[in-house]
Amino acid sequence: MLCFLFCISSAHSRDRQQNRPPVPTPALSSHPSAEERLLLDAVNHERSTAGLQPLKWDNALAAAARQHAQVMVSQNLLLHQCLDEPPLDQRAGKAGAKFSMIAENIAVGPNPETIHNGWMHSPGHRKNILNADVSAVGIATMRGSGGLFAVEDFSRPVAALNLEQQEDKVISLLKSNGLPGANATDDARKTCKLPRGLEGAPALYVIRFEVTDLNKLPDDLLQRVKSHAHRKAAVGACGGGDTAGFTRYRIAVLLN
């Protein structure tokens, strides 16, 4: 018998029906087991055939997947959110993952080959495996009374940058696009925390933005910089509206 479910962005909620003792955290490894390696290789073979980049193994996602696999085995349930268990995004965030997108496949079957074949013949699971917007995966397999339980957690990771590193990234982009007078300032940091207006001296242009990728500037800000109408920029980071593992950078830039 093969059973499988899939989840995109977040796990399905499930009413708490009874009190259960907490499931101990399984011993974790930074390397996939033989069965997990078979699933990883199968996923990347499918992606290669479809002209997609291979997925990189993510230890934090693997830790979340293994914890979930153990819960499913202990309760003998095939669910994205078992009894007294947090949803997918919270599990992954608690394991240390930071991401802008997350999805999950789960199944129980006799072996990895049968499970992967079933996923590839299911539109939702196949979509997760061949999603061009994800680049990382953590996989877990665990034997239970119902068979081999398997979990694949996919994500688009977000780099774990502190506030100073975020500011440095934006300053570097401003300078490379023709605005050498860019620096981090306390006024910009205070402005970043405000819903509107600015802190300190007036500025000709103020923008606050939240992004998951600091490798490019917002289009409006980039156009301003390339217009050469401004000579200085003040940059401040203040932390985005992170929820569980979903990570966003919040930045303010003041142009004069």
Residues 58-64 have a mean pLDDT of 96
- Are the CB atoms for 235 and 188 separated by under 8 Å? yes
Distance in angstroms (rounded) separating the CA atoms of residues 85 and 70? 12
pLDDT score of 30:
60
pLDDT score of 5:
55
pLDDT score of 3:
56
More confident residue, 26 or 246: 246
Residues 189-197 have a mean pLDDT of 94
Give the contacts of 27 (CB within 8 A, at least 6 positions apart).
none
For residue 2, what pLDDT band results from cuts at 50, 70 and 90? low
- Are the CB atoms for 64 and 72 separated by under 8 Å? no
Query: What's the mean pLDDT when you consider all of the chain?
Result: 88
Phi-psi region of 15 (alpha: psi -120 to 50; beta: other; left: phi over 0): beta
| Whether the predicted pLDDT of 188 surpasses 80 | yes
pLDDT score of 239:
81
pLDDT score of 13:
28
